[in-house]
Amino acid sequence: LKRDPKYAQVTEEHINFFWRLLGSESALIDGVTKDATDDIEPFNADWMRKYRGHTKLVLKPSSTEEVSKVLKYCNDNMLAVVPQGGNTGLVGGSVPVFDEVVINMSRMNQIRSFDDVSGTLVADAGCILEVTDNFLKEKNYIFPLDLGAKGSCHIGGNVATNAGGLRLLRYGSLHGNVLGIEAVLPDGTIVDDLSTLRKNNTGYDLKQLFVGGEGTIGIITGVSILCPRRSNAVNVAFLGLESFEKVQEAFKEAKGQLSEILSAFELMDSYSQDVVYQVTKNNRPLESEHPFYCLIETSGSNSDHDNEKLEKFLEHVMDKNIVSDGVVAQDATQVKSLWGWREGIPESLGYWGGVYKYDVSIPISELYGLVEETREKIAGAGLIGGSDEHPVVSVVGYGHMGDSNLHLNVAMRRYDKRVEALLEPFVYEWISKRNGSISAEHGLGLAKKKYIGYSRSDTMIRLMKQLKDLYDPNGIMNPYKYI
């Protein structure tokens, strides 16, 4: 990949413009930071420490009008930009590739309004997910999305990546929950589509292009989103199972018996749990070890009723030999600690050095086959060992079973070209053959730029390019990434 010379380099004149627009007299103010290595590095490096850019300028606008002026200036001056939320994205989309200007949204962090009859929240894109959810908690509502990075990721980033997360099974995708969007196009145009209506069939639903657009056509500055009532009875069961066939049976039973209260069904293989154990040394939830584990969450309105259902379900699946062992959380602390065995996986995997991550959708019956074949391939090449010569620590599979969404992760002592050559395009070919998706919820960013053709036809890619050219004719928005 080469830097495209059509983009201008940041000059003193540009910086002066941004200082006048965003900042005060001080040089290292929050609004604009200038070439100060210490300050700028976190904005250049992604969460996995896999991608590193070389921006010299990070801008933190605090209003939609400021975003508009910044983008218009960048567009007029051919300065390439990277929109950045909490920088927790997992495909290298949120950091520059070369010297693109980072437009970080963290200063746009205000809740604008909340209607506690309809449950509609309107908020700035830079609101942190967990902070927003805590605001909603006080009103007895819940954000319809939850994920492990909630303490850092922004709701604008969530929408820009169309994040799926832990409760999609219950509350559905952001394509359905986002009711409106305010965004700024590269030429400074403010697209004010912050509708709070659930129903609005008046022509093309253009806001959907920003949901999952990964910052390639504009910057989301505000979001209007439908939030469900918070369930006052949340319960969690943690199960051990002997095979992936049994996991599928348990899922079927859970849908049948827990139906309307089922809010999460998460899969974790024993390799993933070993990794969490090695890193955290926490007491394991079950006494014996099993090849597979599931975490089931229920959320309902009546605690007695839900407990009864969950206990009955557990009895049934154990009687039928579908589940070998299981535990139901007794209190909120235990709910949290059981969730830790699922939510702690991504962080624990990063403990040794690096992780190759594949977030994919596969028809459910074949879901785990990809992990087995990948593990065999890597073991066959003698690369498992966690040492310099055998750099693979573990090949693990986990994910949102309820959505047929698998995370195949390869934990590494250090990134290694031999392993890369085994993984790609093997993984993508495997998925394509089964009509799966090479990106279920993380997006394409830089990591999957080359591989979009495994999941999208030439016609679809051509239409995407036409839309990109229409919204961003100069190509300044998040260049070098998937489109």
Q: Whose Cβ is closer to ligand FAD: residue 322's or residue 345's?
A: 345
Q: Whose Cβ is closer to ligand FAD: residue 119's or residue 164's?
A: 164
Q: Residues 132 to 161: which contact ligand FAD by CB under 6 A?
A: 147-149, 153-154, 156-158, 160-161
Rule CB under 6 A: say whether 423 interacts with ligand FAD: no
CB count within 10 Å of CB 427 equals: 22
Contact letters for ligand FAD, residues 47-86 (x by CB under 6 A): x----------------------------------xxxxx
The Cα angle at residue 344 between residues 107 and 405, in degrees rounded to 5: 90
> Bridge-partner residues for 192, per DSSP?
182
- Does residue 179 contact residue 195 with C-beta atoms inside 8 Å? yes
Among 23, 61, 96, 164, binds ligand FAD (CB under 6 A): 164
Q: C-beta of 445: minimal distance to ligand FAD in Å? A: 6
167 vs 402: CA distance, rounded Å:
9
438 vs 91: CA distance, rounded Å:
12
Judged by DSSP in three states, 113 sits in: strand
The Cα angle at residue 200 between residues 197 and 204, in degrees rounded to 5: 130
Size of the site for ligand FAD (CB under 6 A): 38
- CB closest to ligand FAD, residue no: 157
Angle formed by the axes of helices 12-22 and 64-76, to 10°? Answer: 160
Which residues have CB under 8 Å from 187's CB, separation 6+?
71, 72, 75
Q: C-beta of 407: minimal distance to ligand FAD in Å? A: 8
Q: Residues 317 to 376: which contact ligand FAD by CB under 6 A?
A: 346-347
Q: Whose Cβ is closer to ligand FAD: residue 128's or residue 237's?
A: 128
Q: Maximum Cα–Cα distance for the chain, whole Å?
A: 74
Q: Residues 200 to 239: which contact ligand FAD by CB under 6 A?
A: 214-215, 219-220
The count of C-alpha atoms lying within 13 angstroms of the C-alpha of 469, restricted to the half-sphere facing its C-beta, is 6
Q: C-beta of 479: minimal distance to ligand FAD in Å? A: 11
Q: C-beta of 121: minimal distance to ligand FAD in Å? A: 16
Q: Residues 265 to 304: which contact ligand FAD by CB under 6 A?
A: none
Tokens of 199: 């129903």
Among 40, 80, 122, 125, binds ligand FAD (CB under 6 A): 125
Q: Which residue has the tokens 């785990």?
A: 368
Q: List interacting residues with ligand FAD (CB under 6 A).
A: 47, 82-90, 93-94, 105, 125, 147-149, 153-154, 156-158, 160-161, 163-166, 214-215, 219-220, 346-347, 441-442, 445, 478
